[in-house]
Amino acid sequence: MPTLFAFLHHLTAFALVAAIAIELVLLGQKFTVESARKLQRVDRLLGISAGLLLVVGLLRVFHFEKGAAYYFHNGAFHAKLTLFFLAALLSIYPTIRFISWSKDLKKGQLPDVSDGQWRLMRRIVHIELAAIVGILLCAAMMARGIGYFG
């Protein structure tokens, strides 16, 4: 069972990273009705992946790995969770923007997005990707017992 949950954890993490990368690519292209629809779909996949990643990760912490006491006494784990929640909080703004486009997109119209909103969404996605790099570093540290203070 631990192997299955490790696999699911990695699968959802890779899906999340892929979704963020696709968002970045779409935000770098010409804004069209079709690209706006793709952004909505990819952002939905991102949210689902993040939710599943959190659930599977917590199941691993409490039931399938070294035990909650180990993880909650590890600074790298705390940093990893902090970065995850930072990225999740930052992703709220683009998600709200993407959802707000639904009415216009149903009419086949391009939503009105200012240059400032567009730049902010791109900046947020860049920060999310940077947070993922930090999460990967924390995961490597945790796997080697670095940061354990218990």
**Residue-wise pLDDT tens for the chain (150 aa)?**
999 999 999 999 999 999 999 999 999 999 999 999 999 999 999 999 999 999 999 999 999 988 899 999 999 999 999 999 999 999 999 999 999 999 999 999 999 999 999 999 999 999 999 999 999 999 999 989 899 987
pTM more than 0.95: no
Closest to 121 (Cα-Cα) out of 36, 11, 16: 36
Burial of 76 (0-12, 13-18, 19+ CB in 10 A): buried
The helix (H) or strand (E) run that includes residue 50 is helix 33-59
**What count of residues does the chain have?**
150
Q: Which residues of 86-105 are buried (b: 16+ CB within 10 A; e: fewer)?
A: bbbeebeebbebbeebeeeb
Q: How far is the C-alpha of 79 from the C-alpha of 81, rounded, in Å?
A: 5
pLDDT for the residue numbered 132: 97
